[in-house]
A and B are shown apart, each in its own frame.
Chain A
Amino acid sequence: MSHSRSVLAIGFSCALLLTTAACGSLLGGGGFSGSMGKDFDQFDFGSLTSPKDMARFLVVNVGDRVFFEKNSSRIKISARDIVEQQVKFLNKNPSATITIEGHCDERGTREYNLALGLRRATALRDAMVASGMDASRIQVASYGKERPVAGCSRERCWKVNRRSVVVINGAS
């Protein structure tokens, strides 16, 4: 358990750093799987009006994505917290609808990766619905291996490319 706490702590400090430099990264289509950790319940999610504000808040303070193992669409146990936070945030902003985009690393064939990306998006949707999100607010989509965030051909890049990302509709 101490191990997982330290992971969360790192996630938290990165999230704080990001708040200062968030805008540039948002415009670049980037994002962050931040985590509020145990401070989550004390955090005021507020109610945001514009999709853009919601998207920014989601990326910086909640985390808009979860990551996957190779050729897997299972939501990792370590990602469950973030899914719950995403749902809590979205349920505080009930006007928002979302598209979950599933993505893959480059180490697969194009069409298989499209299907795998959809599985990943659907896995996150199912987890969000199980955490209390209304399924009708969620659309799933896949980009397969077409939209990597990291370009190197090493596991450190592939593991951040294997992801499902929550996108607030109307934010871009």
Chain B
Amino acid sequence: MTKNTPNAPRSALVSCAIAAIFALAPLAPPAPPARAELEIDITQGNVDPLPIAVLSFQIASDLKRAPDAQLSLEEEELLEQEANMAQEIRDVIAGDLKRSGLFKLLNPEIFAEKPDQIGEIPRFADWRAIKADAIIVGNIAPRADGSWNVSFRLWDTYAEEQMIGFQYVATLLNKRRIGHIIADAIYQRLTGESGYFNTRIVFVEETGPKNNRVKRLSIMDQDGYEPQPLTDGEDLVITPRFSPTLQELTYVSWVDSVARVHLHNVTKNIHEIVGDFKGMTFAPRFTPDGNHLIMSLARGGNTDLYKMRLGTRELQPLTNTAAIDTAPSYSPDGKYIAFESDRGGSQQIYVMSADGTNVRRITFGEGAYGTPVWSPRGDLIAFTKTYQGRFLIGVIRPDGTGERILTSGYHNEGPTWSPNGRVILFFRDTPGEQGGPSIWSVDLTGYNEQKLSTPGFASDPAWSPLLEGSDAPS
């Protein structure tokens, strides 16, 4: 059973390939190292943000160079387009770096050199004088086919050398993506870990009163840009999750008052109910290879875990207890499954082998533990903990050691990891008749808690893997 989405998203999840990216050779011969190379240790919670200057991207257009030129209306429009693009790409980069909490963005008013006057080699001493450890200089130049070459260089002002420089082809459609890709490249160069800015977030947009909430699936860029509805709100929807291939989402929606696992194909833009089960199905997630779903299936009022091959819809039972077994999540290597169960009398997190054997409980602290989500790095499991009337987000090692709480409050729930395993999104609900959820992020260090901007109430965030084009060229 399929149906078309009434509100088609304006652009597919993976819209167009990022073409012709190449590295820019250093402009200056490397100076003898003046000090240890610039780097940021992101494992520290109290890291000093790195002072960085992100200059406005300059337009290398012939039109602009002739001050007394008579420009046609078309040429004027093109100039304005280019100016907007240059500004938007710069702002996307600056926004990503700032929100990461690892950078202190310097005020353009104190910049040592004006973006339109900076030479091929920056005057490093002047930048050091205003305490800029690094500067980002970029250009955009029109191409014959109507697209633009966008290039940037990241300079280390103390070592007086270029750390990286890349060039990309940008269009009006992918300009923000190019900005995120550049921010990822800078993050990766300075932290040694892959970034997470060129990603999207699927979530549930909530409107209406608490006793009659309308819930729609919605998708937006990681920085909150342009949420687009994926469902019309007629049916209640919860718990969307990405396929590792990015082409599909799975979520739960009610059909004839029974909750059922659905698939949403992003490229074809269709929704589909998964399987024809008598009982309720819920808590779906993809296997790391994207070929199966793992989920809860309720039979006779009891909830167990099953794995389903998407191609054949063949079902494999993984648990068989009288308890609630739900919220399964695979380790990234696909060898283990974390899930929650109340088989021991209260809601706790368990880990088992992928075939359902070797089940062991990993949470023994006071309170209840649920919603385990395995980090993409494999080293930690994020969870929601309920303790003394509060809801906490925390992480624990798969062997049950090292429990650490990242945030707590009236209601925090549903962690989801950035693809590099350094940041967690979750939703926070506020109490009362007028209360409602919003999406927040917190670093794995427990610092840098921030609210994401959404048009209204928002819950159940799911963070996508890195989108196409994020791998830096070597």
Contacts and interface: CB of A to CB of B under 8 A. Distances in A.
| Main SS class of interface, A | mixed
Q: How large is the interface on A (under 10, 10 to 19, 20 to 34, 35 or more residues)?
A: 35 or more
A111 B371 contact: yes
| Main SS class of interface, B | strand
Interface string B374-396: 00000000001010010000000
A112 B301 contact: no
User: Counting chain B CB atoms within 10 Å of each CB, which of A101, A110, A118, A152 scores highest?
Assistant: A110
Contacts of A108: 386
B210 A151 contact: yes
A107 B414 CA distance: 13
A114 B414 contact: no
A153 interface: yes
Contact of B239 (A110, A115, A139, A152): A110
B433 interface: yes
Contact of A122 (B300, B370, B433): B300
Nearest to B284: A111
B113 interface: no
B211 A147 contact: yes
A149 interface: yes
A140 interface: yes
A69 interface: no
B348 to A, nearest CB: 11
A128 interface: no
A24 to B, nearest CB: 15
B242 to A, nearest CB: 17
B33 interface: no
Contact of B432 (A116, A119, A139, A152): A152
A112 B384 CA distance: 11
Contacts of A150: 211
A151 B384 contact: no
A15 interface: no
Nearest to B434: A151
B371 A109 contact: yes
A142 B435 contact: no
A106 interface: yes
B184 interface: no
Interface in B214-273: 215, 236, 238-239, 252, 254, 257-259
A148 interface: yes
A147 B327 CA distance: 20
A147 B215 CA distance: 11
26 contacts: A106-B429, A107-B386, A110-B238, A110-B371, A111-B239, A111-B282, A111-B283, A111-B296, A111-B371, A112-B326, A112-B370, A114-B282, A115-B282, A115-B298, A118-B298, A118-B301, A118-B303, A119-B301, A119-B324, A121-B301, A122-B302, A123-B301, A142-B280, A149-B211, A152-B432, A153-B432
